[in-house]
Amino acid sequence: MTRWPEMASHPSEAGAYRPCIAAVVVTYNRPEELQQVVAGLQGQSRPLDHLIIFDNGGPVRASAILKEQAGSLDIIHSEKNLGGAGGFARGLAVGMARGADWIWLLDDDAIPERDALARLLAVRPDLPTNVGALCCGVREYGSWGRRHRRFFNRWTGWEHSVGASAYHRDCVEIDTGSFVGFLVCAKAVQEVGLPDAEFFLAYDDTDYSLRLQDAGWRLWLVPGSVINHLRSRSARLHSSLFGDKHYYNIRNRLIVKRRYAQLKSFAAIESLTYAVMLWIVARGWKNRAGWRTLWRSVADGMAGRLGLIQRQPVPVFPDAPRGAVIIRTQGRRSDLLTEALASVAAQSVAVTAFVVVHGDHAALGKVKDAISNIQQDLRIVHAPDIGRHRGYPLNLGLEQVYAAGEAFDFLFFLDDDDIVYPAFCQTMTDAMRRHNADVVYAASCRKVPAEAAAPGYAPLPPMCLLIENFIPINSYAIRLSAIRPARLFFDESLEVLEDWNFLHRFLVMRLKFHPLADVLSEFRLTGDGNTPDKQDQAMWDRGWEGVHAYLDQICRQMDRSYVLQSLSDFDFAARGPLTPSERQLLQKTTQWIEERFPADTR
């Protein structure tokens, strides 16, 4: 067992001795919340002796976030994210090494009220000597967060929250407490050791609470000591997209319950029921990734496998990939359509063209006549229902591509007035292979008839799509293995802006975007924007409302860490200087993210 230094006590001004208290805050990518937590800790009526910040490998270092207070803090930076479990284990070890008598564990969104520490220590003399931990009352969403303090049935593994009436008492003995305001006794840590870092995320605190109990240490809830937990509703398990954090929660819950319950079969059945219910509520059934995550979490939980989630190997992108392009046309611009097909034929990578004709039989015949002499791999798809919206012909093309199984490795789209430059496919597929990217997007040009092509859109961080569509439908390519299992389609209810909404669906799936500064495609301004249907402002308003309704929905399904990572990963030096409108878009994006994603989850 680790040998800790002797516990230290600090003399007070009156000559008595007081315990040495250290606080440990584990943080990952929540700069604003972290500043509030540190301010709350530094403002305690009973001052702390040590304030330890364990920076869990976030993109912005805690030392930069807290540079004004850095002199009074003990900041430890990890080069990689160790998860909440690893962070608390390392932070607690530092607190023990500093000779603390008690170590206060808090998340980076847990703001203590000014007298929180003093109230915890005030009840200590009235309790038995074997106090292992004192836990604050947690307030979140405007009421007591009672799931943070629970009872654990040692026969069945059944957990239930401490009742509301307990929050009117001075202190209540409990079985388990989350690490949101968890003041642990250093003598207990000396005996039982550190939290198990292999849990990574979730149930590490439950496991540690039960380990303390097994060693004879008792845990108490002190409701008068209050932590204000800033956890956002979008961070709750049932509100977010089924993924890694659900895997850890299900796996670790199953492991803990089978480890400590006497009736292990009952505990397993209860945990499996919980897993399926969570999978249903968090919409894990919508795609194969959700099925795989559920199965893996249960299998690893039953086998007792801890540690980082074991990723499925990423399919190797072939050296000689085959592509598919879906070209949407209404049969009105045969000359432009033939130019679009010629640009596809000029690619050095093999591409099959699916020409989808959205029109009646006359339009279909016109297209067939226009391309009858073209010698390239192409297929004509008829979308005869002219009353359906713009996503309909694209979806018919997607059905053809999906039906081909693994015959194609990547996909891109064109309208019949778009072209791709000769290096488009080679550059896109090289980037997919080199950067393991799911979506590669590039700069594009715009062309007015009788004028030279001019710069159209330049790459920006993908999260700018939350505000504006800067990726034209002709300027990106998709690794098909990323969307084929989910059979992703366009939203046919949208009259316009369906292409923007389609990109939003990539964000929900947390696909990996990679930007390219190269100009690889061109769209033509042919004047069809002046046709009466394109001038219908009510139609555009409906499209805008539909897109933003979907944005409101997905902000509850996205992790803030994924959102911010897309910003931090973007290489602004690889492209030209930002224009004023681009700077404004980036500013709006950052503001939107801070408003919609006020907290991340580890």
Question: How does pLDDT run across 67-83, given as a tens digit for each residue?
Answer: 877 677 999 998 888 99
**Backbone φ, ψ for residue 224 (5° rounding):** -70, -20
Residue 130 domain-assigned (yes or no) = yes
Q: Are 416 and 327 in contact (CB under 8 A)?
A: yes
Residues 550 and 423 in one domain: yes
**What's the average model confidence in pLDDT over 88-98?**
94
Pairing mode of beta strands 378-383, 454-457:
unpaired
The pLDDT value recorded for residue 205 is 97
Q: What's the CA gap between 52 and 57, in Å, rounded?
A: 15
Same domain, 223 and 254: no
Q: Using a cut of 0.75, tell me whether the model's pTM lies above it.
A: no
Please report the pLDDT score of residue 90 as a whole number.
94
Under the banding of pLDDT at 50, 70 and 90, the label for residue 348 is: very high
Assign 241 a pLDDT band (cuts: 50, 70, 90). Answer: confident
Q: Is 563 helix (H, G, I), strand (E, B) or coil?
A: helix
Residue 26 confidence (pLDDT): 96
Is a pLDDT exceeding 60 seen at residue 15? no
Closest CA to 25 of 17, 35, 16: 35
Q: Specify whether 192 is located in the same domain as 248.
A: no
Alpha-carbon span 488 to 288, nearest angstrom:
12
Count CB-CB contacts under 10 A for residue 377. 12
What's the distance, Cα to Cα, between the start and end of the chain in Å? Answer: 29
Mean pLDDT of 381-387: 93
- CA angle 188/203/314 to nearest 5° reads 130
Whether residue 136 is predicted with pLDDT greater than 90 in this model: the reply is yes
pLDDT digits (tens, 9 = 90+) for 508-536: 788 899 999 999 999 988 755 445 556 67
DSSP-H helix ranges across 174-287: 186-192, 204-214, 244-260, 264-281
> What is d(CA 500, CA 502) in angstroms, rounded to the nearest whole number?
5
pLDDT band at 14 (very low <50, low <70, confident <90, very high): very low
Cα separation of 602 and 600, whole Å? Answer: 7
Neighbour tally for 59: CB within 10 Å: 12
d(Cα 110, Cα 181) in Å, to the nearest integer? 7
Asked if residue 308 belongs to a domain, the reply is: no
Within this chain, do residues 217 and 155 fall inside the same structural domain, yes or no? yes
Q: Return the exposure string of 145-161: e unless at least 16 CB atoms fall within 10 Å of the residue's CB, then b.
A: bbebbbebbeebbebee
Q: Give the end of a domain, one of 231, 256, 286.
A: 231
pLDDT score recorded for residue 540: 87
Residues 108 and 63 in one domain: yes
Range of the domain at 278: 235-303
Give me the torsion for CA of 578, 583, 586, 590, rounded to 10°: 140
Tally of domains in the chain: 3
User: Has residue 314 been placed in a domain?
Assistant: no
The answer as to whether 602 is a domain residue is: no
Tell me the two tokens of residue 449: 């008839």
Pair 256, 361 in one domain: no
66 token code pair? 């807290």
Of 231, 255, 272, which marks where a domain is finished?
231
* Distance from chain centroid for Cα 340: 37
pLDDT at 316 over 80: no
Q: Whole-number mean pLDDT of the chain?
A: 88
Whether residue 539 lies inside any domain: the answer is yes
Place of tokens 């072939």: 318
At residue 109, the pLDDT reads 93
Q: Which two tokens stand for residue 386?
A: 């002219």
- In terms of Cα–Cα distance, which of 592, 548, 588, 601 is closest to 230? 601
Per-residue pLDDT for 1 more than 50? no
Q: Which residue has the higher pLDDT, 564 or 481?
A: 481
AA identity, residue 425:
C
Residue 311 has pLDDT above 80, yes or no: no
pLDDT score of 92 more than 90? yes
- Lowest model confidence (mean pLDDT) among 70-74, 203-207, 262-266, 352-356: 70-74
Asked if pLDDT for residue 231 goes beyond 90, the answer is no
The closest alpha carbon to 279, from 238, 319, 308, 311, belongs to 238
Task: Please report, rounded to a whole number, the percentage of residues in the chain having pLDDT higher than 70.
Answer: 91
Query: pLDDT grade, residue 602 (50/70/90)?
Result: very low
Both 188 and 261 in one domain: the answer is: no
- Could you tell me the CATH number of the domain that includes residue 178? 3.90.550.60
Per residue in 250-269, pLDDT (tens digit) is 999 999 999 999 999 999 99
| 26-40, 365-379, 393-407, 559-573: segment of lowest average pLDDT | 559-573
pLDDT at 471: 94
Token pair listed for 89: 């284990």
Distance CA 236, CA 257 (A): 21
The DSSP bridge partners found for residue 383 are 358
Cα-Cα-Cα-Cα dihedral sign, residues 174, 177, 181, 182:
positive
